[in-house]
Structure 1
């Protein structure tokens, strides 16, 4: 090989990795942290978005709504996801955050199948989680001690459950888990257990979904508030988002995601609701 050709080849070989590194640096990293209830949707949307925008770099993590809100307020992440309104959380200045409601998620009480119960009244459910009812036979089930599994403090799912079912009262001290997935795994394998998870995680035939006042936990019952245990899923940014983050949020709110991805994973589009709920959990009908 002639020396000049060798030098040219060597130069090309050196330029290729430099070009690839340059491409990786051009992509704007978007870190999204918070609600485990919203995590499946954002992960799927992030994967789909990347296929259409190969230079994008979207990192999605859980940790709970409290973590998401505190992290985005501190400027540590581009987006904090939450099941609850930022203004309801201590230590969060909601005026500094921009709210993007992107979906509706249902929440369902679940129990180990061995308890022998498929329906509870709202009062019975509240009495179980506040410790007044301690055995399943008290509500028509098997003679088994009730084991309450709760979500960790800071969980938006827990806040919603306690506000809507316990009327703001705290549940009894019990084992706590920091994600929907870990709750489902424990309830599945431990006799006597009861807890609650978001609808997208409730697709396991080995757990018993509990109706409330004989209303079936189904997305069809949420838009009219017939099934009242639901919450908005929020994406929060600290002030106006940067261009890359704004583009991804626009994608999540696009008709493609709202009509196709949202229902496929188990959520409801915000466009389907016939009622609205404010930060104080007051519900009003949407005017046509």
Structure 2
């Protein structure tokens, strides 16, 4: 009897420790834990300006130990599409260059939770042969409203201006019109409209006289980045607020995210992403900004 009595507490202690250890491993929100593998799928839809960053981060996220059973799918379609789909619960994340209030009605916008993951600068870009590298706000307004139709009118080559615009659902277009033009631009006859930033860049590269606008992450030597009111679109100028054509990159969820989506959003804000891909792909970490901007467009110092 005495020997059996000694074994019984030992067995109960072992069982209790097992239960405690199991409980500790079941409540973690941290993706990648070997004690608590997450599984599921994430669909992120919207901004093509944000797409390269989310796509790259998504690929890396799926390779983190413990995330092997998570699938991340990233699609473009424009900020309006992303916001609409996340509001309708057709997507887990709505990627957007604009605040939800700028695209959705007030009731829809209230249901969404904003996760700001980066800042994106927008630059006016043109074909390399136009002969212009600086435009004022008024000159841009006149070009995008059809009052100026030849580059020679702004000191460039004697060449017809070809506008490459974005669709109405595009957050890049909304940012450009709000902060560069200060007004909406009409759909002009003869202009080209493309949804993908990559396609816009290709068209401008190949089309004589073409002008459009792209996120800084798409800029390279194949196109001319045009100064705005004499100010170059650089990271430093955006951080200080000297260059005005920029926006936050939002990843909206419908209500608070579930465990799997939260793990991905946390990963987007981790040093692994913020100090590598955010910078390397031409975005700016939100933490590096010296100014803040509200939904009305007002810029103030932090």
Q: How many residues align?
A: 260
CA, structure 1 residues 279+222, in 2 after alignment: closer, same or farther (shift >3 Å)? same
Equivalent residue, structure 2, for 1:270: 286
- CA distance in structure 2 between the partners assigned to 1:95 and 1:34 by the alignment: 19
Secondary structure of the corresponding residue to residue 210 of structure 1: strand
- Could you list the runs of 5+ residues in structure 1 that have no partner in the other structure? 1-25
Name the residue aligned to 2:123. Answer: 108
The equivalent residue for 2:51 is: 39
Counterparts of 1:65-76 in structure 2, within 5 Å, are 65-76=79-90
The structure having more radius of gyration, on CA atoms, is 2
Tell me if the contact between 2:180 and 2:244 (Cα under 8 Å) persists in the aligned partners. Answer: no
Normalised by the length of structure 1, the TM-score is 0.88
Where structure 2 has 5 or more consecutive residues not aligned to the other structure, the ranges are 1-37
Match of 1:82 among 76, 93, 96: 96
2:75 maps to 61
Look up the match of 1:168.
183
Corresponding position: 1:282 with 2:298: yes
Question: Is the 1:131–1:172 Cα contact (8 Å) retained in structure 2?
Answer: no
Q: Give the equivalent residue in structure 2 for 1:183.
A: 200
Instruction: Report if the CA contact (8 A) 1:104-1:267 is conserved.
Output: yes
- The answer for the alignment partner of 2:273 in structure 1 is 257
Kindly state the Cα deviation for residue 172 of structure 1 after the two structures are TM-superposed. 4.2
Instruction: Give the Cα–Cα distance (whole angstroms) in 1 for the partners of residues 267 and 104 of structure 2.
Output: 30
1:255 deviation in Å?
A: 2.2
Distance in 2, Cα, partners of 1:255 & 1:198: 22
Q: Is the 8 A contact 1:36 1:63 kept in 2?
A: yes
**Superposition pairs for residues 184-263 of structure 1, below 5 Å?**
184-203=201-220, 205-263=221-279
Stretches of 4+ moved more than 4 A in 1? none
RMSD (Å), alpha carbons? 1.2
